[in-house]
Structure formats: C-alpha cells, structure tokens
C-alpha cells in the first residue's frame, strides 16, 4: 500500500514536470501573433478555432507518442517513421515539412525580435542593424554547451511566467467589453495556421516519450495537462488582446495584421504604462528566445543527421551555416514577415508533418479500431483543408479579407 502511494506521488510529480515542459514549449512566438490573427475573427470564433486546432494537435501528439513507444528507440525520428508507412516519398515529405517549420520559425523569431527591440529603444530607422544585434547572441548561445542552455532556459521560463502574469493582471483593467462581442465567422479559416503553430510542441515528443520510459498512460496525461494549461494561457491572452486593442485605426488589430507586428506592441500603446511596456517587451523577447534556442538546437541536429546519413558529410561549420544563414538572410530581405512566416509554418509545415501524415498512417492501418480511424479521417480532412487554404492564399488563388476592411465599426 505504501509502495503504491509512493508510486502514485512519483507519477504525479512526473506528469506535472512533463506537462510544464510541454506548456513551456507551447508558449512561444505563436502566442504573440494569436490576438492579431484571431482578433479579426472575434473572440467567439477564435475560441472555437482554438478548440478545433488544439484537439487535432492533441490527437496527433497521442498518435506520435504511441509510435515512439512502439519503437522504444532512443533515436526515433519522424522521417524514418513516415518512411516505414509511406516509403521514401513519405520520408522526404517529412524532411521538407520539418525544414519549413524550423527555418520558418527562426525567420519569424529574427523579425519579431527586431520589431520588439526597435519599439522598446526607439530605433525603428535601423532595422537591419538591430536584427543583427539581436541575432548574434542567440546564434552564439545555440552553439554552446547544452547544460548551460538548460540553466538559462529555466531562468527564462520563470521570467516568462512572471511577465505573463503582470500583463494579464494589468491588461484586465483596460478591457473594453464591447470589443469582445465582435464576430467575423468568414475570416475564421485564416486564424487556423497561427492556432496550429501555437499548439505545436511535437518535435520534442520523441524526447518526452523516452524520458517517460515509453509509458503511454503517463504520456497521455502529461500531454493533456500540458496542452490544457497552454490552452488556458493562449485563451486568456486572446481574450485580453481582443479586449484591449481596438479593432481598426492606428495601433489596432487590423493595423498590426497588415504590418506583421506582435500583439504586445499595439497593446503597450493602448495601455500607456512604463511597467506594462517593460513587461510586454520582456514577455515577447523571452517567448521568442526560449523558442529560438529550442528550435535552433533542433534544426542543427536535424541538418547534422541529414548531412551525415544522406550525404555522408560531417562538418560542424557547415551545419551552423546551413542552420542560421538562410533564415537570417530571409529576415534581412523581408523584415516585415513575422506573422506571415508563422502562417506558413503552421499552414504548411506543421499541418503536413504533424497533421496530415500522422492521421494518414492511422487511416491506412487496418489493424486500428474503426472509431479511431474515422476520427483520424476527420482530422486528416481538417488538416488538408488548412493546407489547401494556406496554399491558395499564398498563391493568390483565394483572398479572404477581414470584414472590417470594408465596413466601419465603433470599436
């Protein structure tokens, strides 16, 4: 009996720690774009889309965690998984999708960080210099000892939680409740890519599964509570952002949407508090930095393995160059691509690698239960819809614009 009690306490502690790790990975740059992209649809449509997008990402996380547990392999990776089910075509689709995710996220981090620092210190006229100054220390940190990075990450997560609490508390006092009633259901599909990005943590699933000794029950519980915590934080942030930032006009949601600004910038203008501006800048920069370090390490590892296994090349300098030069050049050439980059990451890379492919392998597997296959079929079609919509938007074959671009509103 005592042994069972100790085991229960140990499992609970493990679930809490793992759920916190998952939530920490989810609270990244995606949260900075949520109130802007979703705000143009309104609060109620945004919450509906977040519930649908979060449910799909939870389903695919459970699928991929199950595959990792089935393999019980410390070197489990997604290209090899999809090659097993879909052949070499599946492997290279996974590789391409993963590169879109990681390169796209680093590009977004470079541009978003530059905008936040420029607004904080008033150097809007020197974007290229600021971007290089912002990028240099992050690149250096990403190339040094992993244990040092883990210690830094703990400090950054504490800053993230503290600054978010201050923002939520201060923002709640500046809500304009009439703004929460606005809805534009036709714009709802355009919110899905950023929502998928905000619920993406799937790159660390193999590591989490191995740390949990491939215990599927612990994995499911950890993912559920971690994603639920992130859903609450994301939902609260969207609620505050929509309630605080005006829908149209200068420094509005619509203005930020067109100029690719993180939500913290127009929010700081509306609240006009030095403390809020400082905490907003800290929150945004820490969210970017923690995500940057994690994804930069992931991209370096991915490129190193790709070069070694597919091209028989082992060169650390080449790995570093291929990791950071392409996204930095893209960010320097297109400095106003923050929200657009997050949309492409979610609407193409994440939807393919962590939406379409995992549900497809379940649908194709006749040994799975009928109910699970039907649920996965629905999720597959949902993910395919997001992908098709994003491709059509980027190719100018479809143009969905927010209702407020053509109509005046009082808030």
Instruction: Say which CATH number the domain at 198 has.
Output: 1.20.1740.10
- Whether 410 maps to a domain, the answer reads no
The number of distinct structural domains making up the chain is 1
On whether the CB atoms of residues 51 and 220 are closer than 8 A, the answer is no
pLDDT per residue as tens, the chain (411 positions)? 545 565 666 788 889 888 887 887 787 767 888 999 999 999 999 999 999 999 999 999 999 999 999 988 877 889 989 999 999 999 999 999 999 999 999 999 999 999 889 888 877 767 788 999 999 999 998 887 666 666 777 778 788 889 999 999 999 999 999 999 999 999 999 999 999 999 999 988 988 898 899 999 999 999 999 999 999 999 999 999 999 999 999 999 999 999 988 999 999 999 989 899 889 988 989 888 888 888 888 888 888 888 887 788 989 999 999 999 999 999 999 998 999 999 999 999 999 999 999 999 999 999 999 999 999 999 999 999 999 999 999 998 988 889 998 877 777
Residue 4: inside a domain:
no
Cβ-proximal residues to 313 (8 Å cutoff; 6+ apart), any chain: 307
For residue 160, what pLDDT is reported?
Answer: 85
Number of Cβ atoms within 10 Å of the Cβ of 339: 25
Query: What pLDDT shows up at residue 6?
Result: 57
Report residue 257 as tokens. 């949407």
Tokens of 389: 């919509």
- List the one residue out of 302, 317, 315 whose CA is nearest residue 143: 317
Name the residue range of residue 265's domain: 18-405
pTM of structure: 0.91
Establish if 260 belongs to a structural domain: yes
Q: Is 354 within 8 Å of 102 (Cβ atoms)?
A: no
3-state secondary structure of 120: helix
Residue 238 covered by a domain: yes
pLDDT for position 347: 96
Per-residue model confidence (pLDDT) at position 43:
96
If one counts every other C-beta atom within 10 angstroms of the C-beta of residue 119, the result is 21
Burial of 89 (0-12, 13-18, 19+ CB in 10 A): exposed
Residue 156 has, within 13 A of its CA and on its CB side, a CA count of 22
Copy the structure tokens of residue 311.
Answer: 């091209």
Q: Dihedral sign for Cα 103, 108, 113, 115, please.
A: positive
Question: What are the distances in angstroms from CA 251 to CA 76, 238, 261, 263?
Answer: 46, 17, 10, 10
Residue 9 lies in a domain: no
Residue 2 included in any domain: no
- Domain presence at residue 7: no
304 in Cβ contact with 323 (< 8 Å): no
- Asked, for residue 6, whether it belongs to a domain, the answer is no
Residue 327's H or E segment, with its range, is: helix 316-333
């Amino acid at each position: 009996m005592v042994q069972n009690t100790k085991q229960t306490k140990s499992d609970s502690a493990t679930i809490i720690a793992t759920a916190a790790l998952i939530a920490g990975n989810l609270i990244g740059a995606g949260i900075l774009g949520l109130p802007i992209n979703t705000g143009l649809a309104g609060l109620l449509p945004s919450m509906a889309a977040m519930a649908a997008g979060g449910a799909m990402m939870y389903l695919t996380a459970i699928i991929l965690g199950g595959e990792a547990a089935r393999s019980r392999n410390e070197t489990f990776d997604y290209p090899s998984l999809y090659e097993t089910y879909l052949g070499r075509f599946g492997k290279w689709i996974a590789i391409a999708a993963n590169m879109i995710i990681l390169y796209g996220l680093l590009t977004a981090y470079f541009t978003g960080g530059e905008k936040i620092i420029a607004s904080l210190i008033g150097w809007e006229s020197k974007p290229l210099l600021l971007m290089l100054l912002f990028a240099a220390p992050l690149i250096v940190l990403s190339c040094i000892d992993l244990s040092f990075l883990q210690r830094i990450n703990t400090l950054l997560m504490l800053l993230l939680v503290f600054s978010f609490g201050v923002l939520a508390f201060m923002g709640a006092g500046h809500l304009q409740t009439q703004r929460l009633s606005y809805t534009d259901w036709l714009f709802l599909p355009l919110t899905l890519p950023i929502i998928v990005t905000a619920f993406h943590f799937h790159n660390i699933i193999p590591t989490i599964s191995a740390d949990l000794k491939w215990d599927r029950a612990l994995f499911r519980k950890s993912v559920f509570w971690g994603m639920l915590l992130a859903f609450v934080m994301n939902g609260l942030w969207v609620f505050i952002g929509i309630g605080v930032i005006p829908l149209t006009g200068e420094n509005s949601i619509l203005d930020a949407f067109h100029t690719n600004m993180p939500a913290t910038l127009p929010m700081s203008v509306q609240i006009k508090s030095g403390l809020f501006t400082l905490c907003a800048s800290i929150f945004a920069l820490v969210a970017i930095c923690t995500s940057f370090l994690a994804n930069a390490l992931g991209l370096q590892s991915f490129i190193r393995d790709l070069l070694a296994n597919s091209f028989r090349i082992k060169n650390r300098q080449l790995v570093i160059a291929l990791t950071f030069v392409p996204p930095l050049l893209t960010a320097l050439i297109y400095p106003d691509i923050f929200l657009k980059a997050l949309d492409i990451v979610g609407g193409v890379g994440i939807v393919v690698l962590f939406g379409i492919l995992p549900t497809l392998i379940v649908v194709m597997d006749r040994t799975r239960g009928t109910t699970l296959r039907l649920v996965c079929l629905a999720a597959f079609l949902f993910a395919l819809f997001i992908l098709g919509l994003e491709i059509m938007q980027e190719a100018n074959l479809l143009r969905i614009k927010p209702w407020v671009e053509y109509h005046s509103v009082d808030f």
